[in-house]
């Protein structure tokens, strides 16, 4: 079942250690088949060195395991809520990458201080609040619902802002598939690192001018994009 998607999700998961985004088993990638309403995700707690495509777990949008010898990632319910709320998302990544997680633990959004950030993410990367009280009873599901609420409240476009921080927890990223979601996780980690260094060098720094942010984002995205070879 979904053998090609399993292979793609496996390969995307293996990019996490390649790009130093995970320690031990601290991360997961999923990818969805919208036609069937099923998605594939990394199994919970299995070392990356031991993973194979056949180990990937097939799950439905109610969070039920459909196929697989292992339990799915403990973050599965978060992925479910993101897929249900945002139909243009095809892949989701969660890591505890150190730079992005540091901003999450500080409870701070990541400002756009320069063009590297602006090329990929339109505006700041938001930081959703920490869950409270009874919300912890369905921790993973409510984490997803909180992310969805945060984006709708701020009227943010998940395509233009393919990342979020969860306070005291860590980052989630997404994309058209698992591979793009990993790409965005790498970008987020680099932007988090640069933003920290920027504030260290100049504690009074302000976000990059909006005109500069607009220029860099829209030259790569949207109807009038001209970056690269495919937009002539």
Q: In what order do the strands lie in the sheet containing 65-67?
A: 65-67, 57-60, 38-41, 27-33, 91-95, 170-175, 163-166, 127-128
**Looking at the domain assignment, is residue 26 inside a domain?**
yes
pLDDT attached to residue 224 = 87
**Looking at the domain assignment, is residue 225 inside a domain?**
no
Question: Which residues have a catalytic role annotated?
Answer: 119, 227
pLDDT attached to residue 108 = 98
**Looking at the domain assignment, is residue 224 inside a domain?**
no
**Looking at the domain assignment, is residue 181 inside a domain?**
yes
Distance in angstroms (rounded) separating the CA atoms of residues 150 and 66: 30
CATH code assigned at 151: 3.40.225.10
Residue 165 near residue 125, CB atoms below 8 Å: yes
**Looking at the domain assignment, is residue 33 inside a domain?**
yes
If one counts the domains in the chain, the total is: 1
DSSP codes of every residue in 123-160: SPBPEEPPP-GGGGGGHHHHHHHHHHHHHHHTT--TTT
**Looking at the domain assignment, is residue 152 inside a domain?**
yes
The pLDDT-based confidence of 232 (bands split at 50, 70, 90) is: very low
Q: For the segment 150-176, what is each residue's pLDDT rounded down to a tens digit?
A: 999 999 999 999 999 999 999 999 999
pLDDT attached to residue 216 = 96
């Amino acid at each position: 079942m979904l053998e090609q998607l399993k292979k793609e999700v496996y390969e995307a998961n293996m990019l996490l250690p390649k790009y130093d985004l995970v320690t031990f088993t601290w991360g997961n990638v999923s990818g969805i088949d919208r036609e069937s309403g099923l998605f594939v995700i990394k199994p919970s707690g299995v070392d990356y060195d031991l993973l194979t495509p056949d180990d990937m777990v097939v799950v439905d949008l109610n969070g039920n395991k459909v196929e697989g010898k292992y339990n799915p990632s403990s973050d599965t319910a978060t992925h479910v809520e993101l897929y249900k709320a945002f139909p243009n998302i095809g892949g989701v990544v969660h890591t505890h990458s150190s730079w992005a997680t540091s901003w999450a633990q500080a409870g701070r959004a990541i400002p756009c201080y320069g063009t590297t950030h602006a090329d990929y993410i339109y505006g700041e990367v938001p930081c959703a609040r920490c869950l409270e009280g009874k919300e912890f009873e369905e921790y993973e599901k409510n984490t997803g619902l909180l992310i969805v609420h945060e984006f709708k409240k701020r009227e943010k476009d998940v395509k233009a802002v393919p990342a979020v921080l969860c306070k005291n927890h860590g980052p989630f990223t997404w994309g058209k598939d698992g591979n793009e979601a990993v790409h965005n996780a790498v970008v987020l980690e680099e932007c988090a690192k640069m933003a920290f260094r920027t504030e260290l060098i100049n504690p009074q720094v302000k976000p990059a001018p909006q005109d500069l942010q607009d220029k860099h984002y829209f030259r790569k995205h949207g109807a009038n994009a001209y970056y690269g070879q495919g937009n002539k």
